[in-house]
Structure formats: C-alpha cells, structure tokens
Chains A and B, each alone.
Chain A
Amino acid sequence: MLVYVLAMAVIVAGLYAMVMKDNLIKKLLGMGIMTNGIHVFLIAIGYRAGGIVPIMQDLDFQRFSLAAVDPLPQALVLTSIVINLSIMAVGLSICILIYRRFGTLDSSRIRRLRG
C-alpha cells in the first residue's frame, strides 16, 4: 500500500512542476518525474512479495506461475521509458532552439516576447 501512496506522491509532485513552474526545463523535468511515478505505479501492480524473477529456468510451470512476479508491467515500463526518453530529447532540443531565439527559458517572458 505504501508504494502506491509513494507513487501517487511522485506523480502529483511531477504534475505540480509541469503546471506551476515557469522555467521550461523545470516543466520538462516535472514531466519526467510524473512519468516515473506512473512507472513505479505500474511496477507495483505486477509486484509480488517474495516473488522470483520471471525467467523460466526449469519447466515446472505450476511452481513458476505461483512464484514469479508479473513480467508484463515491466515490459510496459521499458516501452514507456523509451518513449519518455524520446519526448525528453525532442523537448530539450526545442528548448535549445528557444534559448537561441528568445534568450530566455521563462515561459511567461517567452509569451510576451513572441509579440
């Protein structure tokens, strides 16, 4: 239960940074934090206390299915990490261009400068 509360706290912290912070880099970091919170949440769904790694070494299916943690959320998280990485890369490179054009990363000043 504690891990779910923790995951929600991380998500809310990320959301706060995304919506309330003015600096674009901080907004992007908030996005990363929020997604990581969702990842923790997903992993926690598939976790089983005292479970074994979901790699089938001996073919005793009965014992394996009772003891292993759920591998599917881990696969989802891996996919999501890759997606998040590419969004972050696109976002940061847009930030570089923005800094070159506007000379600032403050989103409220950027809005005023756009004219």
Chain B
Amino acid sequence: MILYSFFTVPAYMATAFVIILVSLKRDSYVPFVAITGALISLGFSLLAIPQVLPGTPVSMQMEEWVAPYGITIFGDCLSITLACLISIVALMTMIFSSSYIRERRAKYYALLSLLFAGMFGVVHTGDVFNLFVFLELLSIASYGLIAFPRNRSALEASIKYLIMGSLGTSLLLMGVAFLYGLTGSLNMADIAVRLSGMSSPAVAVSFGLILTGLGIKAGLVPFHTLHLDGYTAAPTPVSAVLAALVANIGLYAILRVSFILFSMPFVALQILLWFGVISMVLGAVLALRQSNLKRMLAYSGVSQVGFIAVSVGLGTSLGLVGGLFHMVNQALIEGLLFFCAGAVVYFAKTADLDKLSGALKSDRLLSFSFLIGVLALAGIPLFNGFASKWIIYMAALEVNPALALLAVVVSAITLAYGLKAYSVIFSGNPLGKAVDVRLPLSMKIPLVLLAALIIIIGVLPWIGIGVANLMAGGLDSASYIQEVHI
C-alpha cells in the first residue's frame, strides 16, 4: 500500500533543490516556490488521513524488499496527525517568512525546507537507523538556521546547539549500535519481537543511551539551556518552528521508541514524569523573570513540553491521551505566540520588554491574536489549551492529587507572565515615539489561521479528544508489530 504522506519528504527535498535553482535566476520568486512546496506537502498529508482514519496503521516497503530487510515507512493516526500539524505550521512559516526575511532568501528557504523534510522523515520512519539519519538532517538544518542572522548571539547559540545536539545524536547512534548488536536488526517491529523476553543489561544500556540522546533533542530540563539560546537568537519564524515542532518531534521519537521497542518500562515513565515536573515548574517560574519577549516564550515552551511529559509519565491511558492532545495544542499555541512576537520584533526592532512598552501603536489583529495565544497557553475555557489541560488535571488527580494542584498553579503562573507581556506590549505607557503597525498580508494569514484553529478546537474539544484517542492507539506495540512484521 502506498502511504501518501511520506511523499512530503521527497517533496520538501525537491523544494529545497528547486529553490536554489530558481534563486540563480531571480531571488524574488523564492518564497512562491517555497509556499507551493508547502501546499503540495500539505495536500499529501491530508490525502493520508482517510488511509488511517479507521485506526488501522499502514506500512509501506521501499522497492518490494520484505519487512525486516527493506526500509519500512510507517503511518498511523499518531504520525499522520503530527504530519498534518507539521504541514500546517510549515506552510504558515513559509508565508510569514516571505515578508520577515529580506536577504539571502534562497539559503534561508532551502534550509527551512530541509528542516521540514527531516521532521516528516522522523515521523514516518519505521527503522531506528533512519530515525537517526532524519534527526541529523533536521538538526543540521536547524544549526544553519539559528546561525542565520550571523550576529554574535546567533553564532554563539548555534555552535552551542551544534555541539550538544551532535552529542545527543551520537548517543542515539551508539544506542542503535547496541540494539543492532543485540538483535541483528534495525527494523523497529523486528527489534521489538526479538527484544521481548530478552533480559540483558545491554538492553538497559541501549535504552538509556537512546533516551538521553532523544531527551537532548526534546529539551527537557537538564538540556533546556541550549534550546533557550537557540530560540532567542534565531530569526523569529525559525524560533516558532523550533518551539512548536522540534521539541515535540523529540518527544514523539522518545514515545515511539520506548513504547514500541521497549514496551515502556516503569522506570522510563518515572524519568519522564519527574523531569517533566521539573521542566514544567522551572520553565514557568523562570519565564516570569525574563525581560526578553522571545526568551520568555522559549521558557514557556519548556514549561509546556514539561506538561506533556508529566501527562504521559503518569502511565495511565487518560494521561497519554491528554499528553498527545496537548502536543497538538502546544504546537499551535507556541506557533501563534512566536508569530506574534515575530511581528512585534519586525516593527519595533527589539524583543526587550523594557523597550517594547508602548512602542507599537495598537494593531487590533496583532493584539487580539497575542491575547488568544496567551489565554490558550494558560488553559482558559473556550480555548484549546483548556481542553487538553483539563484532561491532564483529571489524569493527574487519579494518580497523585498534589501533581494536579501543581499543574493548576503552573497554569496560573503561565497566565501571569503571559498577561504581563501582553499589557507591556499593547497597553504600556509609550517611552518614545510609537511605531505605526501595518501588518502585511503575509503576516495576517498565519495569525488569523492559527488563532482560528485554536478557537475551533477550544469550542469543539471532542474533535480533538477523538483525534488524541486515535493517536494514543498508535503507541500500541502489538498492532504496530502486526502491521509491519509479516
């Protein structure tokens, strides 16, 4: 069977290639090529929805090689939902960047396309080595994009991200090598079959290596600082992609590998839970103290990833559903907030909250979308963040009421720093001459669309809950093995 959404990977790679070719002729066509590529791959992702909708996974083999020997491409509700999410955010980023990025556009868009190709690859692969390869593709593109402004802070953040990031992927490769030595296979389903019933310390070693390697990518607490610098220094549309998607992709890979290969041991759940708790609290508390808008949003991203990890780490099926639902919501909200921050930075030329006070003449669309983002992030009813956070509170209440209370407190802190930023930027006393904000169409479209999605999911939460239930089904090891291993 042909899985349509996998064609997003070659589509984005071809887009990167065509962008370079087109830029030799005329630089101003580049954004249109990129947007076309993004639209095509959005189409491919949407085409795959009916294929997996009954809840049945679909797998595809490269070139008729049978399962454990050939390269397996795998899609189920979890990966297709994430593919659609990536497609939407990718399209919005391409549109937003067309007015934000004014110089060296070809390089920027080509790197961005490769970044998305890597993400789609990670989501679709059924093979641990290809997971490593696609993760590296994603990482290398992100190192280049963070360094893109070529100023001091961007270069410093980029080299730091490069060294720590390649340490993470090296650990992942080491874990893969251990797995291959143990089982003689790289196919996830095949490894899962061969690992079951095997109890060797080497299994634990390889799991630890893979978990650490992917944890660096997900940016949970001990590894969050390099992400923060990257998010702050990168061009703002890139920060949106990094905060909304890259951390989630890392978490997705952790969940996929630990549920399918290692059938999610209790220790790993506890690790996720406690590192999640620390990320959730520390991210929110430190976000309160930031005076840089982008850095504040980056801390809020760490805090939200913590929420997801806590929810999954509870180990109940309700917690899993809440975590996956929050993954989708968090990506939309962080995307919206970073795009708003991008518009603010674009007009005010600074992300410093002290200098931003009243620096912009109020633009209703911009302030409304920022407010929607803040309220959704804090989990106020009628916005999508409420639905997923409510499930997380309920799931936490079943296991440990103190955790539920902690999550509510963190949400309150989130509201506090969000509203602080909102009031400073949009209703602060002007320090100097206020800049007139005239949002170009390419900035309006992403803001309106993401805000609309946030409100639609918020008003009709059962759609999202249904999708999250189907997504959680994708982490069932038995049906995965049955689909791939014939």
Contacts and interface: CB of A to CB of B under 8 A. Distances in A.
- Is B one of A's binding partners? yes
Interface of A: 11, 15, 18, 24, 27-28, 31, 34-35, 38, 41-42, 45, 72-73, 76, 79-80, 83, 86-87, 90-91, 94-95, 97-98, 101-102, 107, 110-111, 113-115
B173 A98 contact: no
Interface stretch (B157-165, B242-250, B331-339): B157-165
B167 A90 contact: no
Contacts of B177: 38, 41-42, 45, 73, 76
A101 B180 contact: no
Nearest to A95: B159
Contacts of A83: 133, 136, 140
A91 B152 contact: no
Interface string B151-194: 11101101100110011001001100100110000100000000
A38 B170 contact: yes
Contact of B159 (A15, A91, A115): A91
Contacts of B166: 31, 35, 87, 91
B147 interface: yes
A107 B163 CA distance: 12
Please tell me the size bucket of the interface on B. 20 to 34
B150 interface: yes
B143 interface: yes
A98 B170 contact: no
A113 to B, nearest CB: 7
Contact of A110 (B150, B151, B156): B156
B136 A101 contact: no
Contacts of A28: 163
B159 A86 contact: no
Given A18-B167, A94-B162, 20 more contacts: A11-B174, A15-B167, A27-B163, A28-B163, A31-B166, A31-B167, A31-B170, A38-B173, A73-B180, A79-B129, A79-B133, A86-B140, A90-B144, A91-B143, A101-B150, A102-B152, A102-B155, A111-B156, A113-B152, A114-B156
Contacts of B136: 83, 87
Contacts of B144: 90
B162 A90 contact: yes
A45 B181 contact: yes
A98 B159 CA distance: 9
Contacts of B158: 94
22 contacts: A18-B163, A31-B163, A31-B166, A38-B170, A38-B174, A38-B177, A45-B181, A79-B129, A80-B132, A83-B136, A87-B136, A87-B140, A90-B140, A90-B143, A90-B162, A94-B159, A95-B159, A97-B147, A97-B155, A98-B155, A101-B152, A114-B156
Contacts of B159: 24, 91, 94-95, 98, 107
A18 B132 CA distance: 20
A71 B42 CA distance: 38
B60 to A, nearest CB: 21
A94 B143 contact: yes
A91 B163 CA distance: 8
B164 to A, nearest CB: 9
Contacts of A72: 180, 186
A90 B161 CA distance: 12
B228 to A, nearest CB: 14
Which of B133, B139, B153, B173 has the largest number of chain A CB atoms within 10 A?
A: B173
A28 B163 CA distance: 7
Contacts of B156: 98, 110-111, 114
B389 to A, nearest CB: 36
Interface string B219-253: 00000000000000000000000000000000000
Contacts of A107: 159
Shortest beta-carbon contacts, A-B, top 8: A45-B181, A83-B136, A42-B177, A98-B155, A94-B159, A91-B162, A114-B156, A87-B166
A113 B129 CA distance: 40
A94 B147 contact: yes
Contacts of A113: 152
A45 B183 CA distance: 11
Contacts of A11: 174
B170 A34 contact: yes
B270 to A, nearest CB: 26
A33 to B, nearest CB: 11
B217 to A, nearest CB: 14
Interface in B85-135: 129, 132-133
A83 B135 CA distance: 11
Which of the listed residues A11, A31, A72, A80 has the most CB atoms from chain B within 10 Å of its own CB? Answer: A80
A2 to B, nearest CB: 16
Contacts of A101: 150-152, 155
Interface string B302-338: 0000000000000000000000000000000000000
A76 B175 CA distance: 13
Nearest to B185: A72
Contacts of B155: 94, 97-98, 101-102
B180 A45 contact: yes
A15 B209 CA distance: 14
A88 to B, nearest CB: 9
Contacts of A34: 167, 170
